[in-house]
Structure 1
Amino acid sequence: MALAWSVAAAIPAAAAGGAAIDQLAWMSGTWGAEKDGRWTEEHWTAPRGGLMLGVNRTGAGDAARGFEFLRIQAGSDGVLSYWAAPAGQAPVPFRLTASTADSVTFENPQHDFPTVITYRREGDRLQATIAGPGGAKAMSWTWQRR
């Protein structure tokens, strides 16, 4: 799956000195989707104290099948990092590489998979996409605001 990016609208994190956590307030809220008995949901707290916390849960019927703890916070250099801890594993950092008013991209080229995590908001929908190098094996989830 190819990601369509508006290059003119993307602001490289290095050029902007890193986006402030408050610029990601558009991600906050409860998001969910259901199809054919399977469900997925993601919740993000509003930015506060330089931190956003998230949790993701997936399942089918009445049974949860997976979960992930998430965190976005600036590092000592002031650049935001997205920390993902799927199924209780040790958190893995992904460094901010681009942001716009309604999208953000984090990357960790040393991670096995994914190496890129992108969030984009379109109205009452939030889409998360993960991919390997060069967009390989991209997977996306689209949720409605709940």
Structure 2
Amino acid sequence: MHKCLSLLGLLASAGAMHAAAAADAASLSSLNWLAGCWTQTDGEAGTGEQWMTAAGGVMLGTARTVKNGRAVGWEFMRIEETEPGQLVFTAKPRREAEGSFALLRLSEKEVVFENIQHDFPQRIIYRRDSAQAVSASIEGMLKGKLKKIDYPLKRVVCEITKET
């Protein structure tokens, strides 16, 4: 009986370590490769995203789309660790309601968030192509057809305005 209890204790410890490893795998800090300033390679100057490093259980980001020298779209974004190992991406686009997407999968080079109840998109994907390039995309069903929009991004130096 003692051996059986020891074996059960060992199995419980292994299960707890596995759960802790899964939580670590979905930790917010594992997304710090996204932190920094990014410009859309096929967009007009000023089009891109900027992400802060993870701190306090949240990463904050902004995005802006410029066409013909004017901002035509922008959004505020955050990735939060709502519970250990559970990440949620929330976006508040210009003139639209806020939408949240739960973590679907996370690896060293990719993170996918999903909300199948959302109109469009239902998935938000960031893939780390290199230290200097990220492929962002949104996808889902739109008017009965699968649609995907890609946003190729390259790392740039964040602009800082100096006071005169």
SS at match of 2:89: strand
SS at match of 2:79: strand
1:118 aligns with 2:125: yes
Alignment match of 2:146 (pick from 136, 140, 146) = 136
Paired position in structure 2 for 1:25: 32
Q: Tell me which amino acid in the other structure corresponds to 2:153.
A: W
Q: TM-score of the superposition, structure 1-length normalised?
A: 0.81
1:81 aligns with 2:88: yes
Contact 2:57 2:80 in 1 (8 A): yes
Gaps of 5+ in 1: 1-14
- Looking at structure 1, the residues matched to 82 and 125 of structure 2 have their Cα atoms a distance apart, in angstroms, of 19
Same amino acid, percent of matched pairs: 37
Contact 2:43 2:66 in 1 (8 A): no
- Looking at structure 2, the residues matched to 100 and 109 of structure 1 have their Cα atoms a distance apart, in angstroms, of 21
Q: How far is the alpha carbon of 1:38 from its aligned partner?
A: 6.4
Contact 1:39 1:60 in 2 (8 A): no
Contact 1:38 1:61 in 2 (8 A): no
Q: Structure with the greater relative contact order (CA < 8 A, sep ≥ 6): 1 or 2?
A: 1
- Looking at structure 1, the residues matched to 70 and 104 of structure 2 have their Cα atoms a distance apart, in angstroms, of 36
Q: TM-score of the superposition, structure 2-length normalised?
A: 0.72
- Looking at structure 2, the residues matched to 31 and 110 of structure 1 have their Cα atoms a distance apart, in angstroms, of 29
Q: How far is the alpha carbon of 1:91 from its aligned partner?
A: 1.9
How many residues are matched?
A: 131
Q: How far is the alpha carbon of 1:117 from its aligned partner?
A: 0.6
Gaps of 5+ in 2: 1-20, 157-164
Q: Tell me which amino acid in the other structure corresponds to 2:138.
A: I
Structure with max Cα Rg = 2
Give the alignment's Cα RMSD to 1 decimal: 2.2
Paired position in structure 1 for 2:22: 16
